[in-house]
Structure 1
Amino acid sequence: MLNWKKQVWLLWCCQLISIAAMEMSEPFWPLFLRQLRPETVNITVWSAIIYGAPLLVSGLVAPYWGKLGDRYGHKKMVLRASLGLAITQGLLFFCTELWEVLALRLLQGALAGIITAVLCFANSITPTEKRSAVIGKLTSATAAGAILGPVIGGVLIQWLSFSALFATASMACLLIALVLAAGLKQPPLSASGEQKKKHRPDSVPSLNTQLIGLGLLVIFLLQTAKALPSSFFALYAESYLEITPFMTGLLFSSAGIGMMLSAPLWGSYFDKLQQASKPLVLAFITAIAGLCYFLHLQTDWLLLLLVRLVWGLCLGAMLPMIQALMITFAEESRQGLLIGRAQRNIKIGNLAGVSSGALLLVWWDYQTGFTVAAAVYLLAASVLMMVWSLLNRSYEPVPAER
């Protein structure tokens, strides 16, 4: 019998290391590109392209990988993502031209997608009543990796070199792929679900389609709001608060710490909630996140630290739990595809948020940026209220296959 708890812990550890390996280089692309071509004047533009290109490609292919996982097994997708990271990080070791870096980053976006693959596999082995807790746990691994990665990357760059960074990341991902190949046990693939469709009222699929559509919209709005201030937060902290880069990093990472600590707790809490109550609770949490943005304009860094910690606690619930809720609206045999579509909206929302934040700062000020981000959160809360209304009206959950 498959021990799903041990499998989830293995996925948690490997996801933490994979995300840390991937995030080692993320804050340092401008430095690496300047090292490759010191005479290039538009390093900022190149950095933005090399940062955003894999996000766009990954978002476009995520539903495709999810659908393949539904058909052929999600273990293959986890191994593909791990090996994709290992290969692309290793090839970056040999890069001497900007276009080579861009090509490999595009390839990384197409082949990797470790978060989607791990989430799909975990969802396929976890009992229905425990899925929110598992998604929360995996979210904590992602947050922890995003915090640890830049720290490890900074140490490697300062004491060794960028080559050491890429070699370390590649070897870590290769080791993870080997461990997962030996340790993961592929469960039986889901049935097509045709028999279930024959016994389900005709109104249920169309209602579930509406709920999924609204859920995907919420995911896009939540990620847009989250990413919107990231393009100007460092400038805001430097000019508005007049603090050191170390303190700016502390403020920025405090949200990740809150997310890492809260996500597993939110998951356990949402597993105990009635299905019809979940959108209402998420709407309330999202409204609090919007309030946190209104409170960002502080001159006291300690107060801002607390605000961002509370915001991080909200982050631990919003995206993970709306994904967990959406999964219940889909048939077992199509849940990988749905997770891939959700990840696509996260990637696109991230790009929309970063670019919108940069444009807002060109034409207006920091206060406008935080206000717009808060308004996007409130819009997401309004859509969640629509989901709650539909869910309480006539929702019938898709029966589990096991």
Structure 2
Amino acid sequence: MPLWKRNLIVCWLGMFVTGVGMSQIAPILPLYIKQLGVNDSAAIAQFSGIAFGITFVLSAIFSPIWGAAADRWGRKLMLLRASLGMAVVVGCMGFSTNVYMLIGLRLLQGVITGYSTVCTTLIATQTDSKHAGYALGTLSTANIAGSLIGPTIGGFIGVNWGLQNSFFITGGLMMVAFITTALFVKESFTREDKVVIGLREVWRKVPEKSLTINLFVTFFVLTVALYSVEPIITVYITQLSGNTSHVALLAGIVFSASGLANLIAAPRLGKLSDRVGAQKVILVALLAAGVLFIAQAFVTSPWQLMGLRFLLGLAAAGLIPSVNTLIKKITPASLTGRMFGFNMSAGYLGVFGGAVLGGQVAAWMGIRYVFLITSALIWINAGWVYFMVYKKLETNGREDHGKLEHSRS
């Protein structure tokens, strides 16, 4: 078995375990904050937002730093650092005695995180261009699969064994990822003892500066759009169903529908991008997603919403892996970790910005407008991709083909 396939399996399992662990915390944060002594509902909402968002903000800042460390010291070492660090920090959250200690630990979690980023870098650098789309598409399903079952596991543990045990078990899952990585991930990495260069010098070495920035912008807008509806889905389902006794179940099914579709389609669209070009897959997926977001604004039942979210999951499966594939193809191997770090920073900021955007639009204009504005963002992004990414790559491809034909003649 090729090395990249072996590491893909191990990294997939590690990211899956990490996804389960991290997603099972999110639903119980407000309940845990209340257990820590905060009783006012407005204060609980405020502290929950801070505790949730601070991790993404700090992750956005530190992702490029850990990406640079991975390029300099090796990807496996950074995987071990991230998984062990998260195991300790998340486990300590179960010992919090007040909400400020919890927020401090969430802040520290944002500083030391980076397991998924380094996994992506490792697989991208070990996989040849012919299989990059398939490998990165498959890898992207790990967090999705973990996130699908994580909230259910977290709720079950919290109800039956106590909220604190959710953090202890999550820390244990992170430790499983650490042990699995230590035993089975293989990397042939030779550290070059060179003077650490600054950001400006790194940027000078990037061959496709304009295209790289355009891909970062594309990734940011994608995550803003995809996460803008996350905060309001449950409220929207309440409006559609009129039966509050089953809202939690319906919301869970609706969330799972898009995740399941993404899980099914991502490896297949990854293979397709290897054949026809990732830029084509991104463009078509953006156009389809724009239509599907508009349709979600006009549904009249939760089941219609569920069907459209499943279709959206199929389209979304071609987006983020394709962006990662293009970054891998245009970036020198020595800079891959740093470029993926910057890209993940854009993604983390997009998650935070999307959640804020969705909540504000819903509060001021109504829930249905969240879907319409998100659709507009998606189509603006499609226009950006067409002019700034698609046309440039297609032109470069034709020029390379012309040079090849000329050399043959």
Paired residues for 1:210-229 under 5 Å: 210-229=210-229
Paired residues for 1:105-184 under 5 Å: 105-184=106-185
Matched-pair contact (CA < 8 Å) for 2:72–2:192:
no
List structure 1 segments (4+ residues) > 6 angstroms apart after TM superposition: 204-207
Alpha-carbon distance in structure 1 between the residues aligned to 2:131 and 2:353: 32
Offset of residue 207 of structure 1: 7.0
Matched-pair contact (CA < 8 Å) for 1:77–1:117:
yes
1:298-336 deviation digits (Å, cap 9, x = unpaired): 113222211100101111111111111122111111011
Number of the residue aligned with 1:17: 17
Paired residues for 1:146-295 under 5 Å: 146-189=147-190, 208-243=208-243, 244-245=246-247, 246-273=249-276, 275=277, 278-295=278-295
1:223-271 deviation digits (Å, cap 9, x = unpaired): 0101111121211110133252211221122111111111111111111
Alpha-carbon distance in structure 2 between the residues aligned to 1:242 and 1:40: 27
Alpha-carbon distance in structure 1 between the residues aligned to 2:370 and 2:176: 42
Offset of residue 368 of structure 1: 1.5
Alpha-carbon distance in structure 2 between the residues aligned to 1:257 and 1:393: 36
**3-state SS of 1:232 partner:** helix
Number of the residue aligned with 2:335: 334
1:116-171 deviation digits (Å, cap 9, x = unpaired): 01111112222221111111111111100001111111110111111211111111
Q: Residue 377 of structure 2 aligns to which amino acid in structure 1?
A: V
Q: Which runs of 5+ in 1 are unaligned?
A: 193-203, 398-402
Q: Residue 341 of structure 1 aligns to which amino acid in structure 2?
A: F
Matched-pair contact (CA < 8 Å) for 2:20–2:146:
yes
The counterpart of 1:394, out of the listed 393, 396, 407, is 396
Number of the residue aligned with 1:400: none
**3-state SS of 2:392 partner:** helix
Matched-pair contact (CA < 8 Å) for 1:78–1:114:
yes
Q: CA separation of 1:206/1:21 partners in 2, compared to 1, >3 Å: closer, same or farther?
A: closer
Matched-pair contact (CA < 8 Å) for 2:15–2:115:
yes
Q: Residue 37 of structure 1 aligns to which amino acid in structure 2?
A: G
Q: Residue 228 of structure 1 aligns to which amino acid in structure 2?
A: S
Offset of residue 375 of structure 1: 0.5
Alpha-carbon distance in structure 1 between the residues aligned to 2:140 and 2:14: 13
Number of the residue aligned with 1:198: none
Offset of residue 39 of structure 1: 2.8
Equivalenced residue count is 384
Matched-pair contact (CA < 8 Å) for 2:207–2:330:
no
Q: Residue 26 of structure 1 aligns to which amino acid in structure 2?
A: A
Number of the residue aligned with 1:34: 34
Q: Residue 157 of structure 1 aligns to which amino acid in structure 2?
A: G
- Return 173-182 or 285-294, whichever deviates more: 173-182
How high is the TM-score relative to the length of structure 2? 0.90
Q: Residue 251 of structure 1 aligns to which amino acid in structure 2?
A: V
Matched-pair contact (CA < 8 Å) for 2:269–2:281:
no
Matched-pair contact (CA < 8 Å) for 1:191–1:333:
no
| Percent of pairs with identical residues | 24
Alpha-carbon distance in structure 1 between the residues aligned to 2:151 and 2:39: 26
Offset of residue 367 of structure 1: 2.1
**3-state SS of 2:299 partner:** coil
Offset of residue 188 of structure 1: 2.8
Matched-pair contact (CA < 8 Å) for 2:290–2:375:
yes
Matched-pair contact (CA < 8 Å) for 1:52–1:351:
yes
Offset of residue 4 of structure 1: 2.3
**3-state SS of 1:188 partner:** coil
Number of the residue aligned with 1:314: 315
Number of the residue aligned with 1:346: 347
Q: Which runs of 5+ in 2 are unaligned?
A: 194-203, 401-409
Matched-pair contact (CA < 8 Å) for 1:71–1:189:
no
**2:76 paired with 1:75:** yes
Alpha-carbon distance in structure 2 between the residues aligned to 1:4 and 1:253: 29
Alpha-carbon distance in structure 2 between the residues aligned to 1:190 and 1:304: 51
How high is the TM-score relative to the length of structure 1? 0.91
Q: CA separation of 1:72/1:207 partners in 2, compared to 1, >3 Å: closer, same or farther?
A: closer
- Return 33-42 or 163-172, whichever deviates more: 33-42
Offset of residue 57 of structure 1: 0.3
Number of the residue aligned with 1:64: 65
Alpha-carbon distance in structure 2 between the residues aligned to 1:242 and 1:338: 47
Q: CA separation of 1:110/1:205 partners in 2, compared to 1, >3 Å: closer, same or farther?
A: closer
